[in-house]
Amino acid sequence: MTYEEYLSGKKLVLTVATTGGVHGKDANPNLPEQPEEIARQVAECERLGAAIVHVHGRDEHGENDASRLQAVNDAIRERCDDIVIQNTTGGQATLPERIQGIRTDPHPEMASLDLGPFKRDQHIITEHTRHNIEQLAIEMQDKGIKPELECFNSGQLQEAKRLIDEGFLDPPYYINIIFGGQVFTPPHPRHVQALVDTLPEDSEFNILATGRHQLPLTLFATILGGHVRIGMEDNLYYERGTQAESNQQLVRRTVDIVDNMGRDLATPDEAREMLGMN
């Protein structure tokens, strides 16, 4: 997680987040929503070099629906070779809904773990109490599911350190630092550097930047020896004024960036090894 690691040729883990739980086809008609539609794009992204897929489920109307995670997981396994499935346990739903992300059959190898609440719209604060976070962390640890620790701001990095100190997490720790939006960490390279400099020992970091910040902060994370998450959950545009045609279009551009910067992409098995999932 340093410039020296970049220079040494450390491999980069690429995660693709094909669809989220907020915007839908009304925002970009190319956004996949249904299981087969999602799985087709995931298979292409895996072929291009994505090692991990971050998964949301949607109902037949395109609304966020955790009960559809099983169907999406099944479709991905049917179409893909070996990509690591990372189910969401985040969003604005209640704990009983969110916990379905780690109760699929089989359970996913990874799952996101939001480390605190954030505001959405005018009247919503996501329900990520300390009790809920610990319950999810305990079940993930019991099942051998690797948590992706989602830090929406610098204060939540302290929550990651608390969970480590109290034994809820096993090393190496995979910390996803989120930039952009109205309530996340302000998207700027200096903020990336500041948070990377304060990560716990035995950590791997991933950068998630929304909208127009996805491209420049992806490049910066590559230089710092980190990993990246891209995809249409976080960014609906390929360039200013031009909507993304697909998730694979965004993945292809990221693969080119990583290649041009002299780094190799980790395969799914290499990602498992790097993140302590073997």
CA distances from 143 to 37, 104, 108, 110 (A): 29, 12, 9, 10
- First and final C-alpha spacing in the chain: 21
Residues 6+ apart with CB under 8 A from 241: none
Quick check: 205 and 217 in contact, CB under 8 A? no
| pLDDT tens track for 94-107 | 899 999 999 999 99
Q: From CA 19, how far away is CA 33, in angstroms rounded?
A: 7
The pLDDT tens digits for 176-226 are 999 997 778 999 999 999 999 999 999 999 999 999 999 999 999 999 999
pLDDT at position 182 is 74
Phi, psi of 255 (to 5 degrees): -60, -40
Contact 98, 90 (CB under 8 A): yes
Rg, C-alpha atoms of the chain: 17
- Its pTM stands at 0.96
Residue 84's alpha-carbon distances to 19, 94, 172, 207, 221, in angstroms, are: 16, 25, 17, 18, 21
DSSP 144: T
Report CA 74 to chain centroid distance, whole Å.
19
For the residues of 244-272, what is the DSSP string, one character each?
A: -S-HHHHHHHHHHHHHHTT-PBPPHHHHH
Q: Residue 147 forms beta bridges with which residues?
A: 111
Q: What is the DSSP string of 47-88?
A: HHT--EEEE--B-TTS-B-GGGHHHHHHHHHHH-SSPEEEE-
Helix (H, G, I), strand (E, B) or coil at 215: helix
The DSSP element (H or E) to which 5 belongs, if any, is helix 3-7
Which residues of the chain have a pLDDT value below 70?
A: 1, 119-124
Query: Which pLDDT value is given to residue 2?
Result: 81
CB 185 within 8 A of CB 195: yes
* 96 within 8 A of 67, measured Cβ to Cβ: no
